[in-house]
């Protein structure tokens, strides 16, 4: 098959959609499919073009047999409604024109959010008369409202929310198939948007197990020395430091643990809330919190290997109960116990795997007590980690999941009628 993947985020970015599709692209390429990725210049989450790139109208790369077309995108380090909308719209505009040379693909996959990718994907699909697959990771605009980008108190935002719901409906109705990364999204699509259940397929993120099989001992020692982790009990958070992730809870928990010199809280990632997190650390005069900033995808397994406990935190909002963050699969594969602060689709996986524990949404004392429980009980800690790794090997090998994705795509391409 010739596949056009349309996504605003792709490596070297290392957020959830980039990691999800980096793995699937690799697997599909290895199975003989020709893949073109239509994406932006890497800039997420800081709103700054990555070193080695220059923002321009079009750049074509070849990466291990995958054609990558990068399109000009408005980028800004300013955080707020207007810069984000300009980022989405500029990419939608430039990527549409850069798609016009890519008419010889068999199928189009558009990864949402943002909604603009789905809308332009629909236009490209109609223009080239090729089936459109929507890869839905979050409901939008619902997620935008939950994170505070769209405010219900703002009349214009309410208008935009209403328009966006109708546009999302048109994309869901048009798509041949909708892929979801969380089973909870299926009920929402059926109940809120009237999507037929037979066009919805659950394709979890999974994990690239090869990443965890090729760790360098030397790299591990370098990280240990750089961040002074030797002989420490490391509590790791990996991922976006954003409005949804409630990383502030981790800092408040670290404040409770600051008298214990053995415990270090390692926050790996960056994002719009990082300045606030840094300010909290300074005000509390915490010496037990280490910020690594952005780290490339290939280093994540090394950090996880150095960790004793891994965290998944969210704001207490019903929207996030439907999410299954990709970091969970990395934690499972790395054989580390997981503590999550929100009941929902993600906690169900963790509990089913016997890989971790759930604490109340915004209770630093509860989180602190569970961390201390695992600190004192190495047998329990190791058992939870072993359970998680076994579960990941049996259920979330990305190569196996990619074969299921491949079967879905081949079935659609094999249909005579478009």
Q: Percentage of the chain with pLDDT > 90?
A: 75
Determine the pLDDT at residue 84.
Answer: 87
On the question of pLDDT at 417 being above 60, the answer is no
152 exposed, middle or buried (CB, 10 Å; 0-12, 13-18, 19+)? Answer: exposed
Domain spans in the chain, listed from the N-terminal domain onward: 2-206+397-413, 209-395
Average pLDDT, the chain: 92
Tally the residues of the chain. 418
pLDDT tens digits for range 292-327:
998 888 889 999 999 999 999 999 988 888 889 989
Give dist(CA 7, CA 95) in Å, integer. Answer: 10
pLDDT tens digits for range 11-54:
999 888 999 999 999 999 999 999 999 999 999 888 899 999 99
Give dist(CA 322, CA 187) in Å, integer. Answer: 10
On the question of pLDDT at 150 being above 80, the answer is no
pLDDT tens digits for range 342-355:
999 999 999 999 99
Measured on CA atoms in the order 43, 46, 51, 54, is the torsion positive or negative?
A: positive
Q: Is 234 helix (H, G, I), strand (E, B) or coil?
A: strand
Main-chain phi, psi angles of 66, to 5 degrees: -110, 130
* Strand 58-63 relative to strand 66-71, pairing: antiparallel
- Identify the DSSP state of 322: G
CB 235 within 8 A of CB 323: no
Check whether domain 209-395 has CATH 3.40.50.2000, yes or no: yes
pLDDT tens digits for range 171-199:
999 999 999 999 989 998 999 999 999 99
Model pTM score = 0.87
> Is the preceding omega at residue 113 within 30 degrees of 0, hence cis?
yes
Which range among 76-85, 254-263, 349-358, 391-400 shows the weakest confidence by mean pLDDT? 76-85
Determine the pLDDT at residue 215.
Answer: 65
Give dist(CA 218, CA 16) in Å, integer. Answer: 27
CB 133 within 8 A of CB 177: yes
Q: Do domains 2-206+397-413 and 209-395 have the same CATH topology?
A: yes
Structural element, H or E, at residue 327: helix 327-333
Which range among 170-174, 276-280, 410-414 shows the weakest confidence by mean pLDDT? 410-414
Check whether domain 2-206+397-413 has CATH 3.40.50.2000, yes or no: yes
On the question of pLDDT at 418 being above 50, the answer is no
């Amino acid at each position: 098959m010739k596949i056009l993947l349309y996504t605003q985020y792709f490596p070297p970015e290392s957020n959830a959609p980039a990691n999800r599709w980096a793995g699937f692209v690799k697997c599909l390429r290895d199975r003989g499919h020709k893949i073109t990725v239509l994406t932006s210049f890497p800039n997420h989450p800081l709103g700054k073009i990555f070193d080695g790139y220059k923002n321009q109208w079009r750049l074509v790369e070849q990466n291990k047999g995958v054609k990558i077309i990068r399109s000009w995108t408005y980028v800004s380090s300013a955080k707020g409604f207007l810069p984000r909308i300009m980022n989405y719209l500029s990419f939608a505009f430039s990527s549409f024109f850069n798609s016009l040379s890519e008419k010889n693909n068999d199928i189009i996959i558009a990864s949402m959010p943002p909604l603009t990718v789905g809308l332009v994907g629909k236009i490209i699909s109609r223009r080239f008369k090729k089936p459109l697959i929507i890869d839905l990771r979050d409901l939008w605009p619902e997620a935008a409202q939950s994170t505070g980008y769209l405010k219900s108190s703002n009349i214009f935002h309410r208008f935009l929310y209403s328009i966006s719901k109708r546009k999302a409906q048109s994309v869901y109705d048009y798509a041949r198939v909708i892929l979801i990364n969380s089973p909870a999204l299926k009920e929402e699509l059926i109940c809120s948007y009237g999507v037929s259940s037979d066009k919805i397929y659950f394709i979890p993120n999974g994990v690239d197990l090869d990443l965890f099989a090729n760790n360098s001992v030397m790299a591990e020692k370098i990280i240990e020395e750089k961040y002074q982790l030797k002989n420490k009990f490391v509590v790791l958070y990996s991922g976006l430091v954003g409005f949804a992730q409630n990383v502030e809870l981790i800092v408040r928990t670290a404040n409770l643990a600051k008298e214990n010199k053995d415990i270090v809280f390692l926050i790996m990632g960056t994002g719009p809330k990082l300045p606030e997190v840094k300010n909290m650390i300074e005000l509390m005069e915490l010496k037990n919190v280490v910020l690594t900033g952005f780290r490339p995808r290939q280093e994540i397994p090394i950090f996880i290997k150095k960790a004793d406990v891994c965290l998944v935190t969210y704001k207490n909002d019903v929207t996030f109960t439907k999410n299954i963050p990709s970091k969970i699969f990395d934690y499972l594969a790395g054989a580390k116990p997981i503590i999550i602060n929100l009941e929902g689709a993600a906690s169900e996986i963790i509990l089913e795997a016997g890989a971790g524990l759930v604490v109340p949404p915004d209770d630093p004392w509860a989180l602190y007590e569970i961390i201390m429980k695992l600190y004192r009980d190495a047998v329990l800690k190791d058992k939870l980690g072993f359970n998680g790794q076994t579960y990941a090997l049996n259920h979330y090998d990305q190569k196996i999941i990619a074969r299921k994705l491949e079967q879905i795509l081949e079935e659609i391409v094999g249909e005579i009628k478009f």
